[in-house]
Each structure stands twice: as structure tokens, then as C-alpha cells.
Amino acid sequence: MKIQEFDYSVDLLKAILWQYNDAARLQSLLEQKAAWYAENQTQFWTNWYNNVFNLETADQFGLTVWSIILNIPIIVVTEPPDPDKVGLFFGDLHANFTHGNFAPAGGGSIVLQVEEARLVLRMRYFQITTRGAVPEINAFFAHLFADLGPVYVEDNLDMTATYVFGYQPSSAFVFVLNKYDILPRPAGVAVDYVIL
């Protein structure tokens, strides 16, 4: 993702007319105002770019904004288990502990860590902005997962593709992979993944 560099500085002294060059009080006021802008306004926009706008460096707030924009939650709510489909029973009545399968009866939530959320959101951004060619995906994943381990996609030549993870991703990341369609692919191609 290539983002244009912005210059956030504001030079208020350019706005002064030549006829006011000798006005010491006006010069002083404008210099003070320029110093305030340099300290506050420039720093604000620099922080906004780093913490919100740039998906590679966004903090928790910025990732929350991106999750709304990209329609991928970074806090995933899990459904409570269906008591009719529980497969482990005890006793004559085939009842188990509070009709749950050793899981919270009310469901729960999985919170992605900041780095995991960045990975998921960058994968989603790439998914909606790419055509899904295998060389393009492999080049992006080589960059995206460079610090974690090899990740690549193989074209099975039958309208399916297999993603190969050469490292052990976290359980939260695997849960998101299973719940949401975030792996980039061409239209009409089914995807699967394996973890080596």
C-alpha cells in the first residue's frame, strides 16, 4: 500500500504583506501563531497519519476505525453452544453440566491482538483491492508475513487454491480465518488452508 507523503507544516509568515514587514507587533503575533501551529497542528496530523490512517502503524483506535471501514470485526463474538447438538452426555437422562459442552453457556468473545488485527485488516484490504492472481498474492504475503514465516498460495488448477502457512498462527487468527472470508482469491475460486 503506497501512500502519498504529506507536508503538514503551515507557514503563516508567508501571508504577511510586504507593507507590514516593519510592524513588530504584528510580526510577533504571527510568529507566535506559527510556533503554535508547528507544535500542535503539525503534530496532530502526524499522529493522525501514524495512529489511524496508515494501516501498517495504526494503534488500537485506528484499527477499530479500519475494522468498521473494511467490515471485519477485531472483536469476534462467539455463539453459545446449541444444547440440542451437544455430543457429550452423562447419566441416565443424557444430561451434562448445565447443558453445555464444557464451554461457556452464554458464548464469549475473541479479541485480536494489535498485530493480529493488523494482519487481518491488511489481508482484507488486499482482498478487496486486488484481482487475486497467484503471483500477486504470493508477493504480498511474502511482505505481509515476512517476520512470522512463509505463507503462500498454491493454485490446484481445478478452481481451488490452497494457502500454506509455514508457521503456527495464533488460535484467534485461525478462528477469524474460519469465520470470515479474508483470504484473497479470484472470483469463483474456492480456497482452503493448511498449517505445516
Closest alpha carbon to 63 in 111, 2, 10: 111
pLDDT score for 81 = 57
Structure confidence at residue 62 (pLDDT): 94
Query: What is residue 30's predicted lDDT score, i.e. its pLDDT?
Result: 82
Q: Is the pTM of this model over 0.75?
A: no
Task: Give the per-residue pLDDT at 69.
Answer: 94
Q: What is the pLDDT of residue 153?
A: 93
Q: What is the mean pLDDT of each run of 10 residues along the chain (196 residues)?
A: 65 64 79 82 87 91 93 80 56 54 61 89 92 92 91 92 92 88 88 90
The CA-atom distances, in angstroms, between 107 and each of 21, 83, 100, 116 are 70, 12, 10, 22
Q: CA 34, CA 12: separation in Å to the nearest integer?
A: 6
pLDDT value of position 93: 57
pLDDT of 67 reads: 93
